[in-house]
A and B are shown apart, each in its own frame.
Chain A
Amino acid sequence: MNGLEARDIQMRFAGLVALDGVTLEAPRGRVTGLIGPNGAGKTTMFNVCGGFLRPTQGRVFIDSDDVTTSSPTDRARRGVGRTFQRLELFRSLTVRENIALAAEGQLISDGPLAQLGITRNSRAARVANREITEKLIDDVGLTGLADRRAGELSTGHGRLVELARTLANRPTVVLLDEPSSGLDPVESARFGAILRRLMDENDLALLLVEHDMNLVLSLCQWIYVIDFGRPIFEGTPDDIRRSPEVQAAYLGKAVA
């Protein structure tokens, strides 16, 4: 299968079982949702898929290759890009530098000379690089802020920088962890529009963890629901709306 696949994942932290038997598929060309109450294990699942955690059981595949034991950098090379629930910006770099750092990675082999700016890349490659950076800045609507330090931005803008940085790396599998948290409804709607356009223009596998149900139900074609680390439901947005289990898991939590 082209895209991301995680099979029967179990993740233990000392005594705590954060994930137990979670399987999911995020094929290319589809927006896949992963939802569940706070502490359900969504971020842990992302960390397992991105290589930041080694699962205690189960396997992870990218484009059908087993990558369970490979490092985050290695997976990034295979096309996995992600954002973080708690913003992880290069706060002391400008917005443009944040994005360019990721864009360059595509063209330069990171040998010693390349890091000092001495590369054999053609001028054309460098120009292309700069164009991609500028296009992404434009696409996510950060043109006016490109020379500000990322640490000075609002969360909403910070999320956009993270998204642009992730895309600058030209991933084929994109994991977004609560991209709309900290955004106001207008920003959130805008974010949704950006994602839709993104899906139209590229053959991406997008996996979305999100608390904003409107965004999830409108964007995703298939949704997985987990609770306390266990899968409790999967289906289309319509199935989710009708499912009593999902209602129970969410509303039980929301009331408590």
Chain B
Amino acid sequence: MKSFLPFLIIGVSTGAVYALAAMGLVVTYTTSGIFNFAHGAVGMFAAYIFYTLRVDVGIPTGLAAAVAILLVAPAIGVLIDRVLLQRFVGGSASSSIVVSLGLLVALQGTAVAIYGGETRSVAPLFPTSTFEVGGVRVGYDQVIVVAIALAAALGLSLFFRRTQLGLKTQAVVGDRALTGLVGVDARAVTTFSWMLGSAFAALSGVLFAPFVGLDSILLTLLVVQAFGAAVIGGLRNLTLANAGAYGVGIAAALSTKWVATVPSLRGLPSSIPFLVLFLVLVASPKGRFTEVGDSAGSAARRSVGTNRFPWRALAVLTAAALVVPSLLSPAKLLTASATVVFVLMFASLGLLVGLSRQVSLCHAVFAVFGATTLSHLQSAGVPYVLALVLAGLAVVPVGALIAIPAIRLSGLFLALATFGFGVLAESLLFNSAAVFGSDGVAFVARPSPFQNDRAFYYFAVAVVIVGLIVIEAVRVTRLGRILRAMADSPVALQSIRVNPIASRVMVFCLSAFLAAVSGGLLGSLIRSMNLASFGFFQSLIWLTVLVAAGASSLGGAVLAAVLLVTGPAVFTSPSFTEWQPVAFGLGAMVLAQAPNGLVGYLKPPPLADFAARSRWRLAASRHRARLAPRLEEAL
């Protein structure tokens, strides 16, 4: 027992940090109905600002904390609410997910561009000396962190129960539509909740930094610990979220002790929050996680994309792909091949994001699994094309396993589950011998007749074109029509007895399959794949660049591939690569609700739609005006 106590103490103190993050998340989610994936990134950003002020500028700790937590973070909160989200009132759930992911990518990218990617260790914030209780050493810093978290929890609960603003906030949480009637300005309350939530994120970021160091990714991932905790409270209950946070902290700390003897499980402690998240999602009965405020009218939803098979676009694309090598120096051929393969990758993601309005945040993991499975099958002697198809099929059950429990609940939970799975895969599965083998590198051979770069380029083009034909064919089947219909009007779809869950799962699996095939091609292109090739963060960057470019058409996938892969090859300055993710993040935020990203603006927008709508409004108001006299007449 005694050997566990030190771990318990570590667990409680990290749990306290998670609790702060979780409370912030719950406050903004319940009041605004928007799940802030950038919650941890806000905390990360505030932590950087705090330590810059404190260490580099030399401002006293208290003042630096006040600036970071009470000034900068709430300002970011206001910005998120007023600038980014105000435009989305009534928008679809997937566009608000994309906006907050764009913010995450942009903030993380900015931190890396300014401060560099390395972890920076920081001086402890509180005295690290210890005292002994019952034979166990406890650090003063640990006690202080827990005290701060408990005080914050108490403060928050008093705020909700005792203050005018707190009661108003509860009214908004209870029923947004009714608050207007009792004189509460729901907008102002929501803005305030964003300030409050961001301040909590900042506080947890500042307190967490001494534990893990200033690391833009690790701190950004704090949001995940917060998810894990917050879902235990159904994303709404502060007390349960707090309990969940301490539970997650303790479980993670105890598991460190347990896995110390099992090297392949090194990643387990940091994966505990995801496991929790996952188990809660899987085990939840349908209905426990209904999305807040998802009664959004269909006015803002609109699916795009054609009803017809784009023969011409595909032909042009093929022709272009075939002449490109003759225009390029051989050195650039690798970039060209990678671009081509990424077109398929983005088209597969677009099938999901654009057509079915679902978000996958683990596409990079599917790609990695595709490549490693291909590698394993090759060593077992399976011929290339068959192995590639099998590698694709191998991820389908994995995809289904993640997707089914989440899709059953809602789009937000699919995003959460895939995000969780992405991180889990990277920290746990990638380390296991089954994925990368014992050396951490999977060698992927090219098919024998296509060994040289030029030949492989043509091979890749052929596979990609086949993949694109499949994707475009799906769009014109009943499945494609159901998915487009669902984006337009889910209620009408139910009323004609179509159950869209099967469609959503299918399109998710197809998308995973194609992502794995693209991953296999990429592996063959560079001939190997290792742990660092595609981290889970890549998935987020891919999503943002695709949304910015246009997720609903072939053109968008091509543009996204060019922006991501060809861009850095043309503009080789280091600042281009540094700021590239920031640009993608910002692009996704700005264009999340555009009909079809940047490529959507290459054609005149469909104005007819707007015209029809305003005509309807006009007719409706005229109808109301006519109503009274006609009634009198009739009676």
Q: Mark A90-117, 1 if CB is under 8 A from B, else 0.
A: 1111100110011011001011101111
Residue ranges of A at the interface with B (Cβ–Cβ < 8 Å): 13-16, 50, 52, 71-73, 76-77, 80-82, 84, 86-94, 97-98, 101-102, 104-105, 108, 110-112, 114-117, 151-155, 158, 162, 165-166, 168-169, 181-184, 211-214, 217, 241, 246-247, 250-251, 254-255
- Output the nearest chain B residue to A178 by Cβ-Cβ distance: B623
B495 lies within 8 A of A81 (CB): yes
Among A16, A98, A254, point to the contact of B631 (Cβ < 8 A). A254
B494 lies within 8 A of A73 (CB): yes
Q: Is B282 an interface residue (CB 8 A)?
A: no
Assembly CA distance A14 to B170 (angstroms): 13
Assembly CA distance A153 to B304 (angstroms): 16
Among A80, A158, A214, point to the contact of B634 (Cβ < 8 A). A214
Assembly CA distance A251 to B481 (angstroms): 46
A212 lies within 8 A of B630 (CB): yes
B620 lies within 8 A of A71 (CB): no
Identify 7 new A-B residue pairs, CB closer than 8 A, beyond the known A71-B494, A152-B612: A90-B493, A92-B302, A93-B481, A111-B502, A114-B478, A181-B623, A182-B620
Which B595-635 residues sit within 8 Å CB-CB of chain A?
606, 608-609, 612, 615-616, 619-620, 623, 627-628, 630-635
**When A and B form their complex, what is the total count of cross-chain residue pairs whose Cβ atoms lie within 8 Å?**
166
B302 lies within 8 A of A250 (CB): no
Residue ranges of B at the interface with A (Cβ–Cβ < 8 Å): 174-175, 178, 297-298, 302-305, 307, 474, 477-479, 481-482, 484-485, 487-489, 491-499, 502-503, 506, 606, 608-609, 612, 615-616, 619-620, 623, 627-628, 630-635
- Contacting residues, chain B, for A13 (C-beta < 8 A): 175, 178
A155 lies within 8 A of B302 (CB): no
- Contacting residues, chain B, for A16 (C-beta < 8 A): 178
Assembly CA distance A169 to B489 (angstroms): 16
Question: B428 to nearest A CB, angstroms?
Answer: 30
- Contacting residues, chain A, for B606 (C-beta < 8 A): 151
Assembly CA distance A230 to B216 (angstroms): 59
A52 lies within 8 A of B497 (CB): no
Assembly CA distance A72 to B491 (angstroms): 9
Question: A87 to nearest B CB, angstroms?
Answer: 7
- Contacting residues, chain A, for B497 (C-beta < 8 A): 73, 76-77, 105, 169
- Contacting residues, chain A, for B502 (C-beta < 8 A): 110-112, 115
Interface of B is mostly: helix
B619 lies within 8 A of A88 (CB): no
Question: B142 to nearest A CB, angstroms?
Answer: 43
- Contacting residues, chain A, for B489 (C-beta < 8 A): 88-91
- Output the nearest chain A residue to B505 by Cβ-Cβ distance: A112
Which of B304, B307, B481, B619 has the most chain A CB within a 10 Å cutoff?
Answer: B481
Assembly CA distance A181 to B626 (angstroms): 11
Assembly CA distance A105 to B498 (angstroms): 7
Among A89, A105, A181, point to the contact of B488 (Cβ < 8 A). A89
A82 lies within 8 A of B488 (CB): no
B634 lies within 8 A of A101 (CB): no
Among B481, B487, B498, point to the contact of A73 (Cβ < 8 A). B498
- Contacting residues, chain A, for B630 (C-beta < 8 A): 212-214
B307 lies within 8 A of A247 (CB): no
Assembly CA distance A219 to B310 (angstroms): 47
Assembly CA distance A202 to B51 (angstroms): 76
Among A71, A88, A184, A254, point to the contact of B492 (Cβ < 8 A). A88
A115 lies within 8 A of B491 (CB): no
- Contacting residues, chain A, for B492 (C-beta < 8 A): 84, 88-90, 162, 165
